[in-house]
Structure 1
Amino acid sequence: GTNAHAIIEQSPRPHPAPEPAADADGPNVLLVSAKSPEGLRSLAARYASHLESTGDSLADIAYTSGVGRAHLPHRLAVLGETAEAVREALGSATRGTRHAQLITGEATGEPGRVAFLFTGQGSQYAGMGRELYERYDVAREAMDTCARILDGSLPRPLLPTLLDPARGEVLDRTQYTQPALFTLQYALVRLWESWGVRPDIVIGHSVGEFAAAHTAGVLSLPEALGLLAERARLMQTLPEGGTMASVFADPDTVAEAMAHTEAGTVCVAADNGPSHTVISGHRPAVEETIQALRAQGVRCLSLKVSHAFHSALLDPILDELTAAARTVTHRTPRIPLISNLTGGEIRTTAEMSGDYWSRHARGTVRYRQGAQHLADVDHLVEIGPAPTLLQLTRGCLPGASVKCWLPSLHPKHQAPRQLLMSAAALHTHGLPLDWEAVHRERRPSKVSLPGYPYERRRHWIPRPAPVAPANGHGAGESAGDDALVGTGGPSPLTDTAVFAVEHSATAPALLAGHLVYDTVVVPGAVHIARALAAGVRILRTGPVAAERVEFTQAMSLREGDLRRTHTVVTPDPDHERAWSVRVASSDARGTTGREAEDWTLHARCRLRAADPAADFADPSQEIRNRCPEVVDDSSFYTRFAQHALTYGRDFRWIRRVRRAPGEALALIRPAEPADHLADYRCHPGLLDSLLQLLVFALPEAFGAAEPGQAMVPVAVERVVSYDVPGGELWAHAVAHHGPAGASDGRGDITLRRAGGAPVLRLEGVCLRPAPAATLLGGRDAGERSPAGAGRPAE
């Protein structure tokens, strides 16, 4: 297809960026996603590099990642206050290691069902609503609404009790605790809903069922608050003297211990799980039960409470509570509401009419039975000031396939941090969130972000090999690997694969940019690239290794030359699952190519499949610290020109060189847009640039070559291509120290994506000075091969 663009008029001037919110330096959540795990690691590396170089704020980058990018199946999220902290976590993602601020997940299929779990009394703490109130407009409006409804129902205003960290003593009074918990939970529900997270099922624990019932649509907000305030007032009027205790044993064990006390003095207040029961009642009877259980080795924990809830000590207020409950209207639940009283789902209004709330206050909280309704839920979100029900639910559902167990708030964490962490976890596991709403209070702006690292695969139908016209003027030209290898492939009759192509000084066009002694010379990098391309065609997929690479004779191309070039691949008889590769050429105009003496062998190697990359660590910063000398790009290539090596744009990929004795680090980037990289397994210009960098890393390299003399590669022990290059790339060249006076230079080069993922590695590269007479004289005097059915063969 073709894209056509028309500029109708100048775009409108952007509005001035709004002033950032006062707390815009708080936690940020950066979202990254891709279509595959490999793409996700690559994109994480791009973001890490981007954070190092950009001047944009982290808040703007995080916002744009949420609202300005498609959210693909493989996802990660990073929470952090600073760009450096986020970069560190992204580095872990690139290496495939864990990090405390890194969340990963996969969004496949349906988003999944969400359950809200409403915490009960005992989870409160002083100042539990302050950050929520100050940070989020939706939560503040919700709390203000509740406070207005409760105005006159409490001896003191609700909000100071809920928000002030110094009001803990007042908050622990039942009359204030229960309305405060409801108000906080209502604010959290409203906030989650504004972010796009809505429950499919709700369950509360004891007083938490009031907020659950309102969320399910059973009680209106004024009626739920009014009834709860009356419940709390009535309970506050009861005399003290009761107590409660957590017993880490099953109900049967607890019931046996209770049997030795006076009937009705101790009750099971809550059945929280297979090994967690709460008892409640008269203090002497509860203490007697605890002593009996501890004698059996059962762990017991006394609870700090004002009254013995869910016990016979509440009997004096039940009639008044029933009367108050009968004044409110109950509605059919819009979503499943799980009852503490029965442990089952409430389906009709009749089930909650009359004395339901009295029996609810007096009876056992059957949380263990109710939790069974959560077995097929994907995401559990606790609505309350602290995560208590999540742990109970885990004990009730040991084999559940729940993806997310998430608190809304945590007393040890800042509210924005905990909320963002839980929101990010929901996102990475496929739940759609409204990220515009999540960032609303920060008033951020959209900025530029790294592009997607497409996993480039070639889908073009192979073009026929270029054929010289009958008049001998020029030749056709293919592109990418086709221009290096040509057409051909394995024969159905033999084990040999032959690929044929023709080269001239301008075919492929990039050859015109590689001059040695002012003559076009096909570089060793082209032969490596063609061997790797042939390997991909033979092996089909995965990493490819070329071993024992030798450059036996240079192929020089003068004006009017046309070289018939064959790449011959045969099974290696001495190595299992390996292939022998030879590259040879003959004069396409002066010979038929049918005789052995027509052919010149230019390169040979052994080809095999390689193991996937294992080292994803990012050493770039450590290398930068070791390489303090910064080399200007232009002086880099000027130095090569002084030694008879002239490089055109296709062979100039070196940027931002840093050097120290024996090593060099450089950014690798083509001089022009690199969309054509998809046509190559590895672009010859990129490969040649890596060899250039090694020359620069060898302190003796230019010194060993006489003035005006070229330093060229003659052999490579091993080349491993892990992946098709793309994105931001960094190369690190390390020299091997040889004997004093040696003219050869040796070393290794590693090419990595930003973030550390390896792309290419050359080991045991050997460089040697090459006088013009040796390199160019007698290009047909290289190693000869006996005849072989019109193609070179050893």
Structure 2
Amino acid sequence: MSSRDWETHQRHSQHIHNTRHTGKRLFVIGSQDQAGFKRVGGALVEHLDSLSPAASTPEYLANLAHTLAVARSGLSWRASILAESAVELRDKLSTEPGENANRASTSQPRIGFVFTGQGAQWARMGFELLERPVFRDFVAKSAAVLKDLGCDRDPVKELAKGGDQSRLGLPETSQPICSVLQVALVDELKAWGITPSKVAGHSSREIAAAYCIGALSQEDAIAAAYYRGKASAGLKHLKGGMMAVGYSAEEANKLISQTKLTSGKLRVVLDKRRVFARRLKVDVAYHSAHMNSAFAEYSASIAHIEPAPPSLGRPIMVSSVTGSEVEAELLGPYYWVRNLISPVLFTYAIKDLVTPADGDGKNTVDLLIEIGPHSALAGPIEQILSHHGIKNVGYNELFLQGVPLEVQKANGDSDGRLLTNLPPEFIAQNFPTRSLIGAQVPHMAENQFVWRSFIRLSEEPWIRGHTVGSTVLFPGAGIVSIVLEAAQQLVDPGKIARAFRLRDINLFAAMALPEDQATEVIIHLRPHLIATSGSAPASWLEYTVSSCVGTDQLRDNSRGLVTIDYEENRSEQMATEDTRIEATQIADNNTILKDCPKTYPKERFYQHMTKACV
């Protein structure tokens, strides 16, 4: 590309960059329980109403989306809303808060990228993405590569064309531009913090998959796509085409061999049988005998391509040519010629992507993300997974599945700031949500600290072993543990906690955990004041642990006192005394173990408790 062409691209890119983002944004909402979305949505609607026109500006919407992502992303239930304006956001918060709510995984989901094949393109697809710096810069560099290869199709200009003016139906246009967009999306998602563990591509879109694993450079990926389209364009005289049919390969081959019908009549037969059939937006019969005529030209054009050597940490690529994993060093010219003329073994590729044949039968991918113009492969992928009995694989949901997501970058916003005037429900957490203690709620008063959680046996199955009779009880030691965890979150900044001490512990009501309902748990810590006079801060904190099930009233389960001993407050004499006391306690413990060597098995203990309750 000449310097003038490059400057033109840069001016166009800068114009797009300076355009204020006014499209749809992703607003993410978290809740500790599924029922909480109605409460959260109502509070946010009231807040938006109080702001009136001020909430309608793109700047405010960007800051609101950023604040919601930062403030409540750690909660166990997640929901999302796509909205372009404050009015649309308010409407969805009023009518469907938490409609797509999902419980986030407790572990990092393993992601698989699947790249959509040819035929799914449409006019102006991805044009709005040129607002994003990462995506825009990649497209501009790809345009320079295409220019050097002799391509007269400028990606930005082609994407800007709408309706009948679009040339995306032509192979010499769609092949390189679809690859440019998919590869640019790989870099865009990487900027959001999204990287896959495994990838697969349908048909020519294996080129983008190879780039994703680092086997092909940007230049080689664009060249492989461009020359593929150029070679395919020379086959239009064969008047080929492709059709997607809701048959297995075996069923389709049987039908073709039995009827020997032309495609038009074949479509009629399929319609009569009520079998799904749709002609693809291509005028070349890819992966058929027609492509043999393009073998020599395509092979010679890409002879210079050299795949990068393998390296640690790269995603794994599953080939739709072989239906199994493929090494990066094999993705050279010969592979791409095979990709052009061979059948697409997509069913085998998806199966191997999620559950490799040489594995233990367990899923190696938890979430599939389709990279392409739209979710064209959603139905086929669902059928493939169902056919093989593969379950628990999410599809096209990053945030809802618990994937850490840079929402500000996903929305195409920059320099977002945290809003400080949101309802208390949206105040950012200083500590992540924990399974038993939950999350700290906004302060009710000075020096009053409250945590709220919901304990479910389905999420904490280990507790089922602690039963009295037929009732599962939350252990008393567990109550003490969550109090200590709460106290740990109150350690003064910059100080080192040497120890946490408890006294006057009173466990006066058991906390029963039903199998089919969540148990709400409230932990409340406040200063323990001996008298109402005096200004010295209390050294002990009084705690209360309460619980309830469903709509029942809260019931206090335990009270006591806890204090934090800081390393900075201990003198040398105190340290010596503590060492002496500790040595005495250890000696006493060893004496007890020596005098009472027998242990009481937990099984006998629970059997005894069960009999006592009969």
Answer whether TM exceeds 0.5 for this pair: yes
- 1:368 maps onto 2:358 in alignment: no
Tell me how far apart the structure 2 counterparts of residues 289 and 31 of structure 1 sit (CA, whole Å).
47
* Residue of structure 1 in register with 2:257 after alignment: 259
2:306 pairs with one of 314, 329, 334: 329
Tell me how far apart the structure 2 counterparts of residues 58 and 234 of structure 1 sit (CA, whole Å).
47
User: Displacement, 1:155?
Assistant: 2.9
* Residue of structure 2 in register with 1:243 after alignment: 241
Kept in 2, the 8 Å contact 1:160–1:167? The answer is: no
Kept in 2, the 8 Å contact 1:126–1:166? The answer is: yes
- 1:150 maps onto 2:132 in alignment: no
- 1:344 maps onto 2:324 in alignment: yes
User: Displacement, 1:385?
Assistant: 1.0
Cα pair distance change 1:679/1:40, threshold 3 Å: farther
Q: More helix per residue: 1 or 2? A: 2
Q: More strand per residue: 1 or 2? A: 1
Tell me how far apart the structure 1 counterparts of residues 229 and 268 of structure 2 sit (CA, whole Å).
31
1:50 pairs with one of 47, 51, 56: 47
Give the TM-score taking structure 2 as reference length: 0.60
User: Displacement, 1:297?
Assistant: 5.9
- 1:197 maps onto 2:169 in alignment: no
2:67 pairs with one of 57, 64, 67: 64
Tell me which amino acid in the other structure corresponds to 1:59.
Answer: A
User: Displacement, 1:128?
Assistant: 0.9
* Residue of structure 1 in register with 2:374 after alignment: 386
1:435 pairs with one of 391, 399, 407: 407
**1:712-749, CA deviations, whole angstroms, 9 ceiling, x for partnerless residues?**
xxxxxxxx97569xxxxxxxxxxxxxxxxxxxxxxxxx
- 1:319 maps onto 2:296 in alignment: yes
Tell me which amino acid in the other structure corresponds to 2:143.
Answer: A
Cα pair distance change 1:91/1:356, threshold 3 Å: same
* Residue of structure 1 in register with 2:121 after alignment: 124
Kept in 1, the 8 Å contact 2:305–2:332? The answer is: no
Tell me how far apart the structure 1 counterparts of residues 28 and 270 of structure 2 sit (CA, whole Å).
50
Cα pair distance change 1:336/1:313, threshold 3 Å: same
Identity %: 26
Cα pair distance change 1:76/1:261, threshold 3 Å: closer
Kept in 1, the 8 Å contact 2:31–2:72? The answer is: no
Cα pair distance change 1:49/1:261, threshold 3 Å: closer
User: Displacement, 1:405?
Assistant: 1.7
- 1:109 maps onto 2:112 in alignment: no
Matches of residues 482-521 of structure 1 in structure 2 within 5 Å? none
1:450 pairs with one of 400, 407, 423: 423
Tell me which amino acid in the other structure corresponds to 2:390.
Answer: A
- 1:396 maps onto 2:384 in alignment: yes
Count how many residue pairs are aligned between Structure 1 and Structure 2: 413
Cα pair distance change 1:66/1:296, threshold 3 Å: closer
Tell me how far apart the structure 1 counterparts of residues 132 and 159 of structure 2 sit (CA, whole Å).
15
**1:345-370, CA deviations, whole angstroms, 9 ceiling, x for partnerless residues?**
102524x3453222211111011111
Kept in 2, the 8 Å contact 1:257–1:292? The answer is: no
Tell me how far apart the structure 1 counterparts of residues 554 and 210 of structure 2 sit (CA, whole Å).
55
User: Displacement, 1:298?
Assistant: 4.5
Higher relative contact order (CA 8 A, sep 6+): 2
* Residue of structure 2 in register with 1:550 after alignment: none
Cα pair distance change 1:43/1:257, threshold 3 Å: closer
Q: Computing the radius of gyration over CA atoms, which structure comes out larger, 1 or 2?
A: 1
User: Displacement, 1:103?
Assistant: 3.3
Tell me which amino acid in the other structure corresponds to 2:135.
Answer: A
Kept in 1, the 8 Å contact 2:210–2:328? The answer is: no
User: Displacement, 1:439?
Assistant: 4.7
Unaligned runs of 5+ in 1: 1-19, 93-97, 263-283, 407-424, 459-535, 543-610, 613-675, 682-719, 725-794
User: Displacement, 1:107?
Assistant: 2.4
Tell me how far apart the structure 2 counterparts of residues 164 and 306 of structure 1 sit (CA, whole Å).
20
Tell me which amino acid in the other structure corresponds to 1:392.
Answer: P
Cα pair distance change 1:228/1:78, threshold 3 Å: closer
Kept in 2, the 8 Å contact 1:89–1:102? The answer is: no
* Residue of structure 1 in register with 2:137 after alignment: 141
Kept in 1, the 8 Å contact 2:65–2:408? The answer is: no
Tell me how far apart the structure 1 counterparts of residues 207 and 184 of structure 2 sit (CA, whole Å).
14
User: Displacement, 1:443?
Assistant: 4.2
- 1:161 maps onto 2:158 in alignment: yes
User: Displacement, 1:336?
Assistant: 1.1
Tell me which amino acid in the other structure corresponds to 1:258.
Answer: I
Tell me how far apart the structure 2 counterparts of residues 51 and 205 of structure 1 sit (CA, whole Å).
45
Tell me which amino acid in the other structure corresponds to 1:369.
Answer: Y
Matches of residues 741-780 of structure 1 in structure 2 within 5 Å? none
Cα pair distance change 1:158/1:258, threshold 3 Å: same
SS at match of 1:143: helix
Kept in 1, the 8 Å contact 2:425–2:442? The answer is: no
Unaligned runs of 5+ in 2: 1-16, 355-362, 427-439, 445-506, 519-540, 556-614
User: Displacement, 1:85?
Assistant: 3.8
Tell me which amino acid in the other structure corresponds to 1:441.
Answer: D
**1:555-614, CA deviations, whole angstroms, 9 ceiling, x for partnerless residues?**
xxxxxxxxxxxxxxxxxxxxxxxxxxxxxxxxxxxxxxxxxxxxxxxxxxxxxxxx99xx
Tell me how far apart the structure 1 counterparts of residues 545 and 329 of structure 2 sit (CA, whole Å).
69
SS at match of 2:294: helix
Cα pair distance change 1:59/1:236, threshold 3 Å: same
- 1:79 maps onto 2:82 in alignment: yes
Tell me how far apart the structure 2 counterparts of residues 456 and 151 of structure 1 sit (CA, whole Å).
58
Kept in 1, the 8 Å contact 2:117–2:204? The answer is: yes
User: Displacement, 1:438?
Assistant: 3.1
SS at match of 1:259: helix
User: Displacement, 1:146?
Assistant: 0.7
Tell me which amino acid in the other structure corresponds to 1:331.
Answer: A
1:179 pairs with one of 176, 180, 183: 176
Kept in 2, the 8 Å contact 1:129–1:163? The answer is: no
Kept in 1, the 8 Å contact 2:317–2:326? The answer is: yes
User: Displacement, 1:397?
Assistant: 0.5
User: Displacement, 1:337?
Assistant: 0.9
